[in-house]
Amino acid sequence: MTTHKTAEVLDTTGQNCPMPVVKTKQTIDQLEEGAILEVLATDPGSMSDLAGWAAATSDVELIEQDERSEIFTHYVRKTDS
């Protein structure tokens, strides 16, 4: 797993769609531009849900996803609005 310097870790384990995306948006909105949020999820759908959300959102960038364990890890960077 790649190590990113994260500003915060968001634990959405045990929560299903759409909560990982909803909580990610709420948390990323509170971070400064350039900050990286690490999102932990157990919902397999979070892989496509977070990728789709990031692609459709102008002020975030999905920089990595890791699905090598039971916990899916996503790294999202806040970009300029």
**Sequence ranges of the domains in the chain:** 8-78
From residue 15, alpha-carbon distances to 5, 6, 43, 66, 71 in Å are 25, 22, 7, 18, 12
- Please count the helices (runs of H) and the strands (runs of E) in the chain: 2, 4
For 8-78, the fitting CATH number among 3.10.20.30, 3.30.110.40, 3.90.220.20, 1.10.10.10 is: 3.30.110.40
The pLDDT value given to residue 27: 97
Which single residue is written with the structure tokens 């959102």?
57
The pLDDT value given to residue 48: 97
Q: Tell me whether residue 17 is one of the annotated catalytic residues.
A: yes
The pLDDT value given to residue 1: 52
**Per annotation, catalytic residue among 7, 17, 35, 40:** 17
Q: Percentages helix, strand, coil for the chain, rounded to the nearest 5?
A: 25, 30, 45
- The residue-averaged pLDDT of 22-40 equals 97
The pLDDT value given to residue 4: 86
The pLDDT value given to residue 3: 77
